[in-house]
Amino acid sequence: MSTKTKTLIGKISDIDVKSSRTVKLQGIDIAVFRLTDGSVLAVENKCPHKGGVLSEGMVCGTSVHCPLHDWKIDLRSGRVHEPDEGCITTFETTVDSESGEIYITI
């Protein structure tokens, strides 16, 4: 039986809108994105195609474009957009509305 761990990774003010930062939790490289709608989403920082570093990709809406071959990946579901196929791991994020602290659950 695995236990979920909620970890403070910073504040929302640490990440510019349409930008990202990276953290390593439990040996996993994670990209944390701040979208224009104010949401903060966290995904595995590796494209399923050739391992491109997603935190270096361009954010468009709720998706990120892999910087290597422009695969488009939905940051909410982790699914790659058609015609390509694949999926990455997503992580639950919460932002404390008073302090602006961001937590990721692994």
Q: What confidence tens digit (pLDDT) does each residue in 48-71 have? A: 998 899 999 999 999 999 999 989
Question: Domains in the chain, please, with CATH?
Answer: 6-105 (2.102.10.10)
Q: Tell me the C-alpha distance between 25 and 38, whole Å.
A: 23
Global pTM reads 0.91
Q: pLDDT 10s per residue in the chain (106 long)?
A: 567 889 999 999 999 999 999 999 999 999 999 999 989 999 999 999 988 999 999 999 999 999 999 899 999 999 999 999 999 999 999 999 999 999 999 9
DSSP state of 71: -
HSE-CB for 95 with a 13 A CA cutoff = 17
